Structure 1
Amino acid sequence: MSLADQVLAVNDDLPIRTDKPVHSGKVRSVYWLTEADSRRLIKEKGYNVQPDAPLAIMVISDRISAFDCIWHGEGGLKGVPGKGAALNAISNHWFKLFKDNGLADSHILDIPHPFVWIVQKAKPVMVEAICRQYITGSMWRAYSKGERNFCGIELPEGLKKDQKLPDLLMTPSTKGILKGIPNVPEADDVNVTRNDLVNNYAAFNFRNTDDIAQYEKLLAEGFNVISDALAKLDQIFVDTKFEFGYVTDASGNEKLIYMDEVGTPDSSRIWDGVAYRDGQIVENSKEDFRQVLLNTFPDPDVLLNKDRMEERFALARDNELPQEVLMQISKVYTGIAEKITGEPITLSRNPKAEIIEILRNQYQLID
């Protein structure tokens, strides 16, 4: 069996029973279950949701995206071995820790397979909730050019690259293109201030202004729970992105929950503590892959300049990365997952066949 066979690259072609189009994102695909299957599973499995709540199967892949492109390697390698299982394992670990610490639930109801979540439909808050504990990446690039105001927060003079910030910084941005909000351009991923959220809470899908404080509380608490756990492993939680949404539980209570993924190498920067104290940055996150790409191509501006997206897409489409590059990234993902969870990440021999068998035999979702 070749390495390429052990990678789940295409995840939107599973024969799961659905009467809606399959939504395929950069890494995950979502299959909305039929109303009959949703009701049946809620009853059979006792999920804490309304009897008529829409459910979905969310299948992760081993694809790797960076700079808004999907990348591939030599020998038909269309993803990173172990990446999907590592991401899900890390998210599952943090979501459980959040629950154990009394923070909030997540959208995950069941985990049939390392690549698969059964989730409930949430009404998403249209905010990419970004938390920063260190100044690096895009924030450092802007700061080094003289910018001091980030999402309405003024940063002091004299900060150095990669240093710890005086306080945990919340720098939200728009999730998707939002229209008709004063001072907020109609574009994806635009930085917004807390005042923007308060003055236009309904446009961001918040139920009321009090929930903005609740979202900030969950954001800080979630960040600190992960940061404290990583510190015990001598890993530094640098920055991360959370997403939130509303669901209604079986008792009829509407509540704000964590959704998407949390604390993963895709959504966060994680640095090695020993290296940082020695004045070096060793990334245990996708940032490592971004740096590889920036060093691989002679004109890094193609990867950083959003006005050159056509060239960037062509770069990703026409270049097979060396297999050792993707295997190095595999080590980063599986290594940090095993460190966090204390469990080995094993490569499936044929992940697609395994998923089909489980969803057919144990969940009756495949004819």
Structure 2
Amino acid sequence: MSLSDKVLAVNNDLPIRTDAPVHSGKVRSVYWLTQADSKRLIEEKGYNVPSDTALAIMVISDRISAFDCIWHGEGGMKGVPGKGAALNAISNHWFKLFKEQGLADSHILDIPHPFVWIVQKAQPVMIEAICRQYITGSMWRSYAKGEREFCGINLPEGLTKDSKLPTLLQTPSTKGILKGIPGVPEADDVNITRKNIEDNFSAFNFKSVDDIGLYEKLLTQGFDVIASALAELDQIFIDTKFEFGYVKDKAGNDKLIYMDEVGTPDSSRIWDGEEYRAGNVVENSKEGFRQLLLNHFPDPDILLNKDRMAEREALARDNALPVDVLMNVSKTYIDIAEKVTGQKIVLSDNPKAEIVDILRQQYQLID
């Protein structure tokens, strides 16, 4: 069996019973279960949700996206071996830790397979909740050009690249294109201030002004829990993106939860502590892959300039990356997942067949 067979690249073609279109994102695909199957599983499995809650199967893939494009390798390699399993394992670990430490629940109700989550429908808060402990990446590029205000927060003079910030910063941006909010441009990923959110809290899907404080508290607490655990492994948590949403508890009350993924190499920067103390930045996250792409192509502006999106898409489509590049990314993901979880990441020979088998036998979701 070739290595490319072990990669789950296409994840939107599973024969899961559904009467809604499959939603396929950059990395995950979402299958909304029928009302009857949702109700049956809630009863059979004892999920702690109201009996009329909509459930979905979320299947991760091994696809790798960077600069808003999906990349592939030579020899038909359509993803990174082990990436999906590593991402899910890390998220599962942090979500469990959050729950144990009394932070908040997540949208995950069940984990039938390393690639699969059963989730409850959540109403997303339309904010990319970004937390930064060090100045690097896009923030450093803007700072180096003389910018001092970020999301309504003023930074002091004299900061140096990759240095620790005086305090943990929350620099939110829009999730998707939001229309009709005064002072907020109609574009994805636009930096916003706390005042923007307060003045238009319902446009961002918050149920109340008070929940802004709750999301900020959960963001800081979540960051601190992960940063402390990583520090014990001599890894530095640099910055991360969280997402939040609302679900109903069993009594039918709204509660704010963590959703999507947390603390993964896809949504965070993680640096090696020993190397950092020696003056080097060694990325244990997707940032290493992004830097490699910037160095690999002769005109990195294509990857950084949103006005050149058509050229960027052509670059990703027409260039198969060397297999060793994807295998290096695989090693980064698997190594950090095994460090974080203390468990071995086992590469499945045929992940799709395994998923179909489990969802048919144990969940009766495939005819």
Q: TM-score range by the shorter chain?
A: over 0.9
Q: What residue is the counterpart of 2:254 in the other structure?
A: 254
Q: What does residue 82 of structure 1 align with?
A: 82
CA distance in 1, matches of 2:53, 2:148: 45
The 2-side partners of 1:339 and 1:225 are apart by 16
Count of residues in Structure 1 that have an aligned counterpart in Structure 2: 367
Give the structure 1 partner of residue 130 of structure 2: 130
Rounded to whole Å, the distance in 2 between the matches of 1:175 and 1:307 is 19
| Cα distance in structure 2, aligned partners of 1:315 and 1:180 | 34
Where do 5+ consecutive residues of structure 2 fail to align?
Answer: none
- Aligned position for 1:73: 73
Q: CA deviation at 1:136?
A: 0.1
Paired residue type of 2:76: G
Distance 1:61 1:127 in 2: 24
Q: Distance in 2 between matches of 1:231 and 1:159?
A: 23
Deviations 1:318-355 (A, max 9, x none): 00000000000000000000000000001000000000
> Where does residue 168 of structure 1 map in the other structure?
168
Match of 2:102 in 1: 102
User: Distance between the aligned counterparts of 1:348 and 1:41, measured in 2?
Assistant: 26
Corresponding residue SS for 1:139 = helix
Q: Distance in 2 between matches of 1:69 and 1:254?
A: 35
Aligned pairs for 1:196-211 (under 5 A) are 196-211=196-211
Distance 1:241 1:234 in 2: 21
Shift of 1:254: 1.3
Matched, 1:177 2:177: yes
Which amino acid is 2:275 matched to? A
Report the counterpart of residue 147 of structure 1 in structure 2.
147
Q: Which residue of 2 aligns with 1:194?
A: 194
TM-score relative to the length of structure 1? 1.00
Distance in structure 1 (CA, Å) of the matches to 2:321 and 2:58:
28
SS at match of 2:263: coil
Q: Secondary structure at the match of 2:30?
A: strand
Is 1:301 the counterpart of 2:284? The answer is no
Give deviations 1:37-74, integer Å, cap 9, x for gaps: 00000000010111000000000000000000000001
What residue in structure 1 maps to residue 320 of structure 2?
320
* Separation in 1, partners of 2:160, 2:61: 37
**C-alpha separation in 1, matches of 2:250 and 2:129:** 27
Q: Distance in 1 between matches of 2:57 and 2:364?
A: 13
> 2:27 corresponds to which residue?
27
Using the alignment, how far apart are the partners of 2:189 and 2:294 within structure 1? Answer: 22
Shift of 1:154: 0.2
| Structural RMSD (CA) | 0.4
Partners of 1:80 and 1:4 in 2: CA distance: 9
What is the alpha-carbon distance in structure 2 between the residues aligned to residue 199 and residue 254 of structure 1? 21
Deviations 1:83-108 (A, max 9, x none): 00000000000000000000000000
Instruction: Report the AA paired with residue 348 of structure 1.
Output: S
Deviation at 1:251, TM superposition (A): 1.9
Shift of 1:36: 0.2
1:38 paired residue number: 38
Task: Report the Cα distance in structure 1 between the residues aligned to 2:229 and 2:29, rounded to whole angstroms.
Answer: 30
Cα shift at 1:253: 2.3
* Distance in 2 (alpha carbons) for counterparts of 1:126 and 1:304: 24
How far apart are the structure 2 equivalents of 1:116 and 1:72?
23
Letter in 1 for 2:79: G
Question: Deviation of residue 158 (structure 1)?
Answer: 0.4
Describe the superposition over 1:259-317 as per-residue Cα deviations: whole angstroms up to 9, x where unpaired: 00000000000000000000000000000000110110000000000010000000000
Deviation for aligned residue 1:249: 1.1
Partner of 1:280: 280
Give, as a single letter, the amino acid of the residue that structure 2 aligns with 1:363.
Y
Deviations, residues 162-206 of structure 1 (Å, cap 9, x unaligned): 000000000000001111100000111100000000000000000
| CA positional deviation for 1:132 | 0.2
Structure 2 residue matching 1:104: 3-state secondary structure: coil
Which stretch of the first structure deviates more once superposed, 87-96 or 250-259? Answer: 250-259
Give the structure-2-normalised TM-score: 1.00
1:356 corresponds in structure 2 to: 356
The equivalent residue for 1:111 is 111
For 1:321 and 1:180, locate their aligned partners in 2 and report how far apart those are by CA, in whole Å.
41
Report the AA paired with residue 11 of structure 1. N
Residues 105-141 of structure 1, C-alpha deviation per residue, up to 9 Å, x if partnerless?
0000000000000000001000000000000000000
